[in-house]
Structure formats: C-alpha cells, structure tokens
Structure 1
Amino acid sequence: MTTSSAHTAITGAITGAIAGAAVTGTAVTRAVLFHELGGPEVLRVEDVPLAQPGPGEVLFRVEAIGLNRAEALFRAGGYYYRPTLPGSRLGYEAAGVVESVGEGVTAFAPGDAVMAAANFDFGVHGVYGEHAVLPEGSLVHRPEGVDAVTSAAAWLSYSTAYGGMVETGGLAPGDHVVITAASSGTGTAAIQTARRMGAVPIATTRGESKRERLLELGAAHVISTGSQDLVEEVRRITGGRGARMAFDGVGGPGFATLGDALAPGGTMVAYGFLDPRPIQLSMNWPLTVHAYGNGVMCRDEAYRRRAAAFIGSGLAGGTLAPVIAETFDGLEAITDAHRLMDSSTFTGKIVVKV
C-alpha cells in the first residue's frame, strides 16, 4: 500500500469511527495528529473520540499549549524516540482544567487547574488538542493565580533549568554558567534561574541580533559565537579562571569548545542536541559531564514537588517570568506556530491558546 493510500485508509477509518461515535452518542474532541514525518505541513487537526480516564488517569480540558523544540524534532523523525505512524499525537506541555478523574486518583479533582509534567511519551499522550488524558503522575498543580498561557510556558523550561543546573549540576551563588541556545525557552529560563540562584549567566548566541534582548532578560554577558571566540571571552569575563558550569542544549562538536571554557573541575550539563552530530569532549580535564534527562527526573514525585515549589515561588515573587515570543489562537494555528519554531527567529516560548 502506498503512503497516499494508507493515509486515505486511515482517514476513512477515523471518519468511520467518528460517525459511529455520533450514532452511539460517544463524545468527540479535536486533536493534532500527523500521519507521516515532515515539516509543519504534516500536522492535522482532526476529530477523535473523547477518551475517558482509566484507573490512575486524569482527563483535563486544555486551555493553552507550550511548544518545544523536541516536538519539531519528533515531527521530523529526529528525536531520540520515534513516532508510531500513522496517527501519532504530539506535545509535552499544556495547561488546563481537570474535567474528570479515574479510579484511585487522589491528587486531583474536577475543577483543579493543572499543567503537564512532560514525563511521558508524547506520541501516545500528546497534549496538542482540546482535551488530554494523562497519568496522575504526569500532572502538577498550576501555581495559584497564574494564567493558562504563562503556565503552559513555564513547567518544561524552568524544570529543565532548575533540574539541570541546580539539582544535577550543583549551581551555587557566584558561579559563572555558560548557557547555550540562550534565546530558546529553556535558555531564557536558565538565565532567570541562574540569577535567582545568585549565579552569573553568560549567554551565547550565534549572531548579534539577539544580544540586547538577552541582556534585557538578565544575561550578565552575551557572547556572539559567530564573531567572538567563546573560550577567550569566557576567560576574559572570569578573570582567566574559566566558568564553573556549562548548560548546553546544542551538543555536537561544539560541546568540546564549551569544556575548554570551563575552570578545572568544572561541570557540563547536556540537556539537548540541536546539533545532531556526535558530541565531542574537551581534554580540559578534570571535568564532570552529565547527560540530563528532564523527563526521567520528572517521573520522581519528590522531584516534582521540589521543582513545583521552586517554579511556583519564583513566579509568585517575580524572579521567574516566562518570555512569550508569540501567542497563537486556536488549534488551526498549530502549523504556523511550528513554522515560527522552525525559523529560530524568536526569543522565548511559543504558545497556542486552545
């Protein structure tokens, strides 16, 4: 069967299922699915049966979705796990309100404001839709008084920055930390998190266009890697010592250069791989290198409590404030939102209101 005919068959099956649901009175909802790998154009908004929560699960109505680079990689087949096609779902991060809970759920009740904890396979449990069903352990309560758009932009970026730099890397007051991909959602969250910890954030960006914005967002220093020597600049900033930590979402051969910019005994935390080439290590030993997986960290209930307390108090006190690059209205805008994400011309998080 060809890809086209397979897609036609799947579409027909879904249409038949929806028609059957209408006859039997089963509720339907809308979700974003994709049936083949590719660019933003493969994303489709489709009617699907509204799933009900099973034991240990929670059904919530989605109010806003936060987009992440991982989802663009997954959609294109470049993430560390691959979608099951056709009919894969998508999305790690969303904020909403609980509608019903399954047997045995004790932490949530209908009416609770929640956000997804991004610790699940989003090909199965993806939150791009009007509703989502997640295991109880894949949700956290939204900070009191924080709106849905802000909440949808908060959890994954700040829990990655907090978990990677503070809990894993041991970031301490006075430490210099080099933050790559600094204009991304996690990068801007890392700048704010470093400031909150009393550390000194050194942001890197490829060109000059984002320098002033990163300084406005709290970076103590900005290095343009397209025109400045990273190692020389870090050494100059730190009085020749080198930085205590590197927090890296890029990977690839440049990882070795980051290591060269650290002080002896420094710590490298790799949380992403925007550069798909193999990571190379610096010979500036001794170094401690962590391959940080936020999804794994967020499976631990005690860690979720600590991260939620850090994020919630930071949002309430104003030391943490998600940078929203652009807000789109409606699921139909998901393709345009992904096009913006692929462009890398923005700073902060992209959010889609549902």
Structure 2
Amino acid sequence: MPHLQRRELIQGSAALAAIAALHASRRAYAFPAQPSGKVIPWLDQPTKNPDPAGIQSQLVWEDLDSWITPNDKFFSISHFDRPTIDEKTWSLEIGGLIKKPLKLTLADIKSRPRQEVVFTVECSGNHGFPFFTGGIGNARWAGTPLAPILEEAGVSANGIEVVFFGTDKGEIPIRDVKMKQNFARSMSLADAMNPDNLLCYEMNGAALPPANGFPVRLIVPGWYGIANVKWLKGIEVRDTRFMSLLMARDYVTIREEDHNGETVWAETSVGRARIKSAPAKVTQKDSEYSIIGAAWGAPIDRVEVQIDQGPWTPATIDHSEEAEHAWKIWSLGWQNASPGEHTVTSRAIGITGEIQPAMDDPLIAKKHTYWESNGQVTRRVNIV
C-alpha cells in the first residue's frame, strides 16, 4: 500500500487495534484465564455408586476447571475383569479376512507414524442413572493411525466388518448356555478406515493408565465410549456383521417410532455420539454469579441456558482452547440472581441446526433404554 501516508497507517492501525480489543473483551474465557470464584454446590448430587469396581473415577462437575481432564480424574468403566498386562509380552494380532496377518508389539506400534487427537469420550449411559452423571472426560490421545495398518494387512474384497477384541473377558449366560467371551465391539470397514482412528498408547502425554486401556486401546473420535475398546488384544476382519453381547444384545437402544399412526419398535446398536451439553457449576465472585458448562457430541454452533422456566439465553463459548472432537466450554453471567432455589438447564445446538432434545421430546420420552441419554440436563442450585 505505497500510496498510504504514514499518518493514515498509524490511524488505521489504531482503529484495528481498538476493534480487536473490543472483540477480545466480548469473549468469555470460562477457564483457566478467568478466575472461577466460589463454587456453589448443586443440590441434586449423584446418588451412591452401586458398582465402584465397574464404574471408577467419575467426573465431578463442580470440579471442572480445565479443558483437558487429568488422567487421575478420568472416568473408567469395565464390563468384565480389569486385566493386568505386561507390555513386554503383549502383542496385537490382526487377522481374519486379510492377505497378510500381522502381529505387532508395543514397540512396533510406537515405531509407526505418531498422531494426536483431542477427543471427549462419553459413556453412552452417562446421565442414564442418578448415580452415573460423570461418565465423560476430554483428553489428548496419541498413537498411530489404524487405517494404514489395515491397508498393510490387505483386507480381502469380501471383508465388510472389523471386530476389536479386548483382553478383558467374562462369563456370559445366554439362555441355558454359559460361555466365556472377551469384550468385543465392531464397526463397518468404512468406519474403521476413518483417518482419525488411532491405536492409542498415550493419554495426555503419558502412557495409558491401566484403568484406561494400557498398553493399547482403540480411539474412535465421534463415537460413544463403548466403541473405544480398551486393553486391545486382537483385530479381526469378517464378511458378516458381528452380533455379540455388546453389539446385539446389550448397548442396544430401544425406541418407539410412529409410522403413520402405528407404533414400531426400533432397536439400534449404540454407535456415534449424540449432541449434548450440561451445566457444570455455578460460581460466585463478590455479588456476581456465573454458570459454566460444556457441550459435545457433535459440531456445536451455540449453547443456550434456561434459568427456572425463563427464556433461553445464549451462552458464550470459550474459544481459547478447542478442537474438532473436543467439548466446548461455555459460560453465562447470571444477572440479578435472586435468593432461593433455582433450576439451570442447558441445550446445545449443532451447526446443522440439530437441538439437544428436551426430556419430553419423543426422542427421549419414547426411548425405553438408558443408553444414548442426551436429553437436556437440569440441575438445582440454592442462592443465598
């Protein structure tokens, strides 16, 4: 811009700086940049966990103070035993309908190209029970992409399904038969070849904790936790759909659907995550109150908050830290918070216009299982 004079340049730069400062001042940083203040505990606390061995280290929403969930606070679920694995003798076998069977040690996997993804993992049963409200966490996962390994193995032309087997196993009664089965989940070959999928050996810069799948687990960004198989021992390609305990009999959502006035019962296997949000905490600093929460499960456009039965109010999303598959942290200044008990509800709206359903929405009200519990979350708080 040689024709601009120095004075015009200075004036233009000053104007741009002022605009930038104005926009920066309008951005809300829920944390860590913004002091959180005093946390006011929710009145509706989770009930006692009846299965502390199977469900461990749930997220305490009032403690949410960082975008990344620390490893020691990350939730962990086990459906069978929790295996103890020696990384020196561990290996991952890849077989089935492939041209070149592979057996990879941990060193083999670590020698391959490394890839990271920040991904919020939620159990599909989260908020399905009054004792289970913290089955979620956001971590930086690292490993090697799955797709090149399947390509190297050479999937046969008739291979359509990829099954992931965990080391954990248990005895499963089916009618009058009892059988020992390893944890196993599957997905289509097309889904398995997604370049974001990882054979993951690292969590937040450290080796995977034993509770979260050491030495290697599957990370499938955008899917519910059940698909992210822990303690991997084998991968198998098949030419038919895989119908196991955790694919066809459990982790199956049952809904009533209206087909031209006729009720049809639809059963679907839990798979991709659904749009969701939740209020995390109410904070007080001097006489000012703020509501902070998170939204995840789909690309988020905006979040709205309802206090009591009032209007839906837009929250401000914290853009200081974000990633494609990670939750977004949001906040709302609570103006003129009156003393007494209040309800706080949030709803997320996706970039395609999808809205997190209310609890009386047919998507939730006509669902007869607790999986995929993505209805609007309401919390109760007392302002003194």
- TM-score, normalised on structure 1? 0.24
Larger RCO (CA under 8 A, 6+ residues apart): 2
- TM-score, normalised on structure 2? 0.22
Q: Which has the higher helix share?
A: 1
